[in-house]
Amino acid sequence: MVDHLLERIREADPLEVHVVTNSKFADAFSEWAPADVVVHDDGTTSEDDRLGAIGDLRFVVEQAGIDDDLLVVAGDNLFDYSLGEYVRWWRSKGVASAVALYEHPDLELVKQYGVVSLDDHERVVSFVEKPADPKSNLAATACYVFHREHLKLVGTYLDEGNVPDQPGRFVEWLHRRAPVYGYRFGGEWLDIGDRAQLLEADNRARVRAGLSPRDRYVV
């Protein structure tokens, strides 16, 4: 999965690539990492002391001294659209951030994600994290482009005592304070952090490889 994401990320011609993980997996990621990838160990060891996705975002920005626009992709995103095209589209929006959106056919699954509404100019006008009654099927995927000016607000968000996990929470907060646009993409998208979708992704890959599908995921 990380190799797959790295291929997608390189389409956007990044200046640097950073991977953040916890102490349990840091050595394994360091052994894997190509020369152009920096691995960050956030120093946490359990669910009790974890920083959360937004906390990890601030950690990497501070550790690496990042003062630039930032493409952020969660490791459980399986997709086939072009991040290069996404970034080029985002650059047309001026001083703005962006979130990648998938028109999900399953409204029950949509309840697990941030649900977004856009205006006629593709600007986010509503962002509700994990709604019980979704008002649209536009699901926010954990793939964002943050303008360097907006990246500075991550610290403000956390210092206010807001939820440090679920990166969509920051976007939900940010869109009320700064322009955030929604990029609709087509093709395949699965959240392999969900066990059922992990099995579906595995079976799609098995069929493409000429293997028979199976009823449960095993390594």
Closest to 188 (Cα-Cα) out of 77, 84, 71, 75: 77
Q: What is the pLDDT of residue 47?
A: 84
Q: Is the domain covering 2-187 a CATH 3.90.550.10 domain?
A: yes
Distance separating alpha carbons of residues 137 and 113, to the nearest angstrom: 10
Residue 126 CB neighbour total at 10 angstroms = 16
Closest to 142 (Cα-Cα) out of 102, 107, 106: 102
Mean pLDDT in the chain? Answer: 95
The pTM score is 0.93
Backbone Cα Rg of the chain: 17
The residue extents of the domains of the chain are 2-187
Mean pLDDT across 70-80? 95
Q: Per-residue pLDDT tens for 91-114? A: 999 999 999 999 999 888 899 999
Q: Per-residue pLDDT tens for 158-214? A: 999 999 998 999 999 999 999 999 999 999 899 998 999 999 999 999 999 999 999
